[in-house]
Structures are given as structure tokens and as C-alpha cells.
Amino acid sequence: MAKRKARFLLPLVLLFVILITAQAEHALTPEQCRADSDVWGVPKATALTPNDYEFRNLTRDTAHSQAITAKKLNARIDELSMCMRTDPTQSFRYEEGSRAFNIAILLRLGEFVSRHQMMNQFYKEDDNGQR
């Protein structure tokens, strides 16, 4: 009976250890959030000093950057979302950075639709209620 329990519990324990280890590897610290934001050019900002001009520049530069793929932007957006919870003292900065990266992706999508002459199809489907 004890061997049957052990055989059943061992995989559960291993799964639990793997999950805890994976979470620990992906846990962000406030220092990492701030360092990554600095590297990505996310302006320092608070609700009192939002630095709108700098965020517009970040959006524009990111949208046209050949070095930053859309997949990288999505990863940055995900990280900034985690940083809002990890480092609430700078959550406004992370929120604005995420917004800038999301807008950059939308600009790229708009250019893709235009480049492939899909705008008329988009309008037609939207007029038909396809959303």
C-alpha cells in the first residue's frame, strides 16, 4: 500500500518542484524591471510628470525599428505587465511603456494591411459586422 502511494505521490512532488523552479526563474525583481526599462528606452515617468513627448518618441522609434520584432515587443509588453505588479512605485512608467509598445505594434499592423492592400477587405468585413 505504501509503495502504491509513493508511486502516485512521486510524480506529483516532481511536478510541484518543477513548477516552483520555473516560477522562480521567471520572477522579476524591481531592479530587473527598471534595468530592462532603461535598456528599452522607456522614459522615467510618474502620474505627476508623464513625459508625453518622450513616450511619443519611444512609440515612433519602436514602430520603425528594424531591430525589434513584433514578437520581442509582445515579450516586452508581457514583462512590463508583470513589472506593474512587481514594482508598483514605477507602475505608471511600465504602463506607459506597455502602451507605447502596443501602439507601435498597431502601427506596424496598419502598415501591413496597407502594404498588402487589405484595407477594402477590412472595411467590407467590418461593415458586415465581422469583428
Residues 48-62 pLDDT 10s: 887 899 999 999 999
* Residue 43 falls inside a structural domain: yes
* Residue 7 falls inside a structural domain: no
* pLDDT < 70 positions in the chain: 1-26
For the entire predicted model, the pTM comes to 0.75
Task: Please give the residue range of the domain that contains residue 72.
Answer: 28-127
Residue 109's pLDDT is what? 96
* Residue 52 falls inside a structural domain: yes
Number of domains in the chain: 1
* Residue 19 falls inside a structural domain: no
Residue 18's pLDDT is what? 59
Instruction: Choose among 1, 110, 120: nearest CA to 63.
Output: 110
Residue 61's pLDDT is what? 97
Residue 49's pLDDT is what? 80
Residue 45's pLDDT is what? 81
Three cell numbers written together for 118: 487589405
> In degrees to the nearest 10, what's the CA dihedral of 41, 44, 49, 53?
-10
DSSP 51: -
* Residue 5 falls inside a structural domain: no
